[in-house]
Structure 1
Amino acid sequence: MSRLDIRLLGDFELARDGEPLALPASRKTRALLAFLIVTERPQRRERLCEIFWDLPDDPRAALRWSLSKLRPIVNEADIVRLVADRERAGFEAIDTEIDLSRIEARLADPTASADALTTCARLLGEELLTGIDLPDQPDFAAWLSYERERVERLRGKAVKRLLEHPDMPPDRAIDYAERWIEISPFSRDAANALIAAYRQMGRDREASHLIREIKSRFADADIEWAPEEPAPDAEPATTRERGRALLERQTINFCKAPDGVNIAYATVGEGPPLIKAANWLSHLEYDWEAPWSPLFRELAQDHRFIRYDERGNGLSDWNVEDLSLDTFVTDLETVVDTLGIERFPLLGISQGAAVSIEYAARHPERVSKLILFGGYPAGWRLTATPEQAAEREAIITLTKSGWGQDNPAYRHIFSATFMPSAKAEQLAWFDDFQRQTACAENAVRFLEAFSVIDVRHRLAEIRTETLVLHSRGDKRIPWEVGRDIAAAIPDASLVTLESDNHLLIEGEPAGETFVEAIREFLVR
């Protein structure tokens, strides 16, 4: 006994045991078969004649001809699926799989998995019975329009089930909620689901904007709507949950620098590109749980956010001969050329700011906008006072012996300069992170390389629109350094962040100021 497979979503197709069946060339005949399959009950011949044929023709003869063409396609020696007598004609789904029926059954199953529901939502995005329209037959056109609207409602149901599913990642919930409200622009449930999805990801500013937009649209249609407020005990997705959701969508690849060093780079998010120059202490996987990771997650909401691990660090090759400004810039050039991005905004943090300045000076045609945070144009060996130099030398000495160890003295001198406002658990995470990003030998080599960086002569050459951000109380790179960068780059803007941290940490107001300033800068 063979099985008949019927596809109603998209192009109307039939197959027997996987082999496609040729349907009649007559569109009306194909439409007749589709109508009988979807309605799932016998139809009076008179009604079929009214739906498919005009009165001046011989509708009964036309119906008989169409049925004669369909019988050998769907019937078999021992299976009669197309049943017709003198009064009625209908289709019986004997040993038949119909895509739409299968989807409806899955949506009715309360135990359906998130993957199964995702498949349903995707399939329901196909138009019902593409190419079967009969614009000259108004009754059929009205029926088909109704059935297509029913499929759209089913798609909304699938999306709603997905949003309520415990395995749905918070970031993907936004995608599906947006699809739902596209399907049902005046659905209160869809509107509330979209607002809730944005709040779940911590994107309250965008949620507020959407509330105003949806209220206005509903008011124009004379529909009352007020957003559902979250329950008092409801908590948004945790930092770790949001980080993992984004991490699942991150892709990591490798490219080879001219000297043969493998450089790991990652892309996450959608939209226009935003490239971040590498800075020390990074790891493309572990970064997403760092105290500073919320800043990355926010930037990835609006952009295709591209990062890479510096040579000697993270997922890039650790065993390298050269750690210098020139190789740091070459690594950035390699990543950009590998991705084939012609023009992009460039973000440089800490010593990554010097790398970004040098790259923008070498390639002004490539950098659309330049963003520098906590940066410096010259290393401490070139600018430090004797007291500052002694402190930095002490850090290098402690790094040689204390890197990756639970040494309170080392942690106090080294970690506290990066994040003096961090909590004990954040500092503990930072200590462990050190072990994962680089070995002690490379850590010392990095500190030595950074100490002699010098791009001061490049600042006046920058013609790219530039935004400089710096923490007022930065203990590692004083605020005055950031101010001087902004003064030296023609027409650069300076934003002072009210923080003591060189690396902004989750929860401090300066982090929100940082993200808002960058967003406004990139769209103006």
Structure 2
Amino acid sequence: MNRRNLLLASAMGAAALIPMGAQAAAKRGAPKAIISKADGVTLFHREFGEGPVMLFVASWALHSAMWDPQVAYFSDRGFRCIAYDRRGHGRSQIAPAGYDFDTLADDLASVIEQLDLKDVTLVAHSMGAAESIRYIARHGSKRIRRIVMLAPVAPYILKTDDNPYGAPQAYFEATLQRYATDFPAWAYEFQEKFFTPTTSMPMKEMLTRQLLDTPTPVAMRCFRSLYSTDLRQDLARIDRPTLILHGARDVQAIPVITGERVAAGVRGSQLKIYDDAPHGIWVTHARRVNEDIEAFMKG
């Protein structure tokens, strides 16, 4: 065999070792930069696997890597898993503004449209669920097949005359003052409420580092938008099958009443309460969460 044929055979053999999903992903080319249509902010995303699309929307002050327990599971089961970093988080651009829910929902729309995603299963946790609700209200659901919300911070968590379920303004302002004064101290204190006693220390540390990597001003602006945005009217716009998973032990962070209220506002939605789960349900109960999402997608 001459040198040219030997090199060709070697290249063909190496290509055969590449998983089919990776070959298909390579055909799509290198990951493209996503530019927010709202104001030109650059958004980072990652993807694994090949097949029906699952798009993951991160929690408040966390980024796309938080979803590794789900991405590892579903990308190995024939799904194309995409997760992106909210503006100001992870490897996305730190923007001086745009942390209101309308702009964040428009950022989500930019991800979906520029990657030309269709028949999407939208999976979101906490603040990400609230962003997803506002996305449907602003952009409709034509590209969405189904929605999964984990511990949604919605539809409205500020106590007002017509919303007795929320916490008072003074509570949120005091929390913001704690962030401004010593965000790391708050983050480590919050671990007890976020995880279970059996959650590994490396997992706790990994997610806490993500939290602390988010600039405190960004976390504060997002938190202010989170507690002050009223999504009650937006719920009626959701016209896709919706699964809501919430932990009964989330009472110290996001009470289970929020999941119940979202379920009541979304026609035909399914609500599952995990008796022993806290706010970090997607890691503390990863196996059950993954299996429930998979069953929902197959149903």
Fold match (TM-score > 0.5): yes
Tell me if the contact between 2:48 and 2:71 (Cα under 8 Å) persists in the aligned partners.
no
The count of corresponding residues between Structure 1 and Structure 2 is 281
Q: Which residue of 2 aligns with 1:370?
A: 147
Give 2:13's aligned amino acid. Answer: C
In structure 2, which of residues 261, 264, 286 is the aligned counterpart of residue 487 of structure 1?
Answer: 264
Q: Which residue of 2 aligns with 1:89?
A: none
Matched, 1:518 2:293: yes
In structure 1, which of residues 381, 384, 392 is the aligned counterpart of residue 158 of structure 2?
Answer: 381
In structure 1, which of residues 254, 267, 270 is the aligned counterpart of residue 47 of structure 2?
Answer: 267
Matched, 1:279 2:59: yes
Q: Which residue of 2 aligns with 1:397?
A: 177
For the aligned residues, what is the CA RMSD?
2.9
Matched, 1:296 2:71: yes
Q: Which residue of 2 aligns with 1:468?
A: 244
Give 2:123's aligned amino acid. Answer: L
Matched, 1:342 2:118: yes
Give 1:332's aligned amino acid. Answer: L
Matched, 1:414 2:190: yes
Tell me if the contact between 1:467 and 1:492 (Cα under 8 Å) persists in the aligned partners.
yes
Give 1:254's aligned amino acid. Answer: A
Secondary structure of the residue aligned to 2:281 is coil
TM superposition shift of 1:376: 2.7
Larger Rg: 1
In structure 1, how many angstroms separate the alpha carbons of the residues matched to 2:287 and 2:145? 23
- Deviation by residue 1:273-309 (Cα, 9 ceiling, x = unmatched): 111234333334xx2xx5x631232132231111111
Identity value in percent:
24
In structure 2, how many angstroms separate the alpha carbons of the residues matched to 1:378 and 1:514? 22
Secondary structure of the residue aligned to 2:122 is strand
- Deviation by residue 1:116-167 (Cα, 9 ceiling, x = unmatched): 7x85364xx6xxxxxxxxxxxxxxxxxxxxxxxxxxxxxxxxx7xxxxxxxx
Structure 2 alignment gaps of length 5 or more: 21-29, 160-164
In structure 1, how many angstroms separate the alpha carbons of the residues matched to 2:189 and 2:156? 19
TM superposition shift of 1:341: 2.0
In structure 1, how many angstroms separate the alpha carbons of the residues matched to 2:62 and 2:242? 24
In structure 2, how many angstroms separate the alpha carbons of the residues matched to 1:426 and 1:307? 19
Give 1:515's aligned amino acid. Answer: N
TM superposition shift of 1:469: 1.1
Give 1:294's aligned amino acid. Answer: P
In structure 1, how many angstroms separate the alpha carbons of the residues matched to 2:7 and 2:81? 41
TM-score by length of 2: 0.81
Q: How does 1:121-160 map to 2 (within 5 A)?
A: 122=15
In structure 2, how many angstroms separate the alpha carbons of the residues matched to 1:296 and 1:342? 18
- Deviation by residue 1:439-471 (Cα, 9 ceiling, x = unmatched): 111121111111112211122232211111111
Tell me if the contact between 1:374 and 1:502 (Cα under 8 Å) persists in the aligned partners.
yes
Q: Which residue of 1 aligns with 2:204?
A: 427
Secondary structure of the residue aligned to 2:289 is helix
Cα 1:282/1:269, change in 2 over 3 Å: farther
In structure 1, how many angstroms separate the alpha carbons of the residues matched to 2:276 and 2:71? 18
Higher relative contact order by CA 8 Å / sep ≥ 6: 1 or 2?
Answer: 2
Q: How does 1:77-92 map to 2 (within 5 A)?
A: none
TM superposition shift of 1:320: 2.4
Tell me if the contact between 2:246 and 2:281 (Cα under 8 Å) persists in the aligned partners.
no
Matched, 1:447 2:220: no
TM-score by length of 1: 0.49
Secondary structure of the residue aligned to 1:357 is helix
Matched, 1:120 2:25: no
In structure 2, how many angstroms separate the alpha carbons of the residues matched to 1:462 and 1:283? 25
TM superposition shift of 1:391: 4.7
TM superposition shift of 1:367: 1.3
Structure 1 alignment gaps of length 5 or more: 1-5, 7-95, 104-115, 126-158, 160-171, 177-250
TM superposition shift of 1:516: 1.0
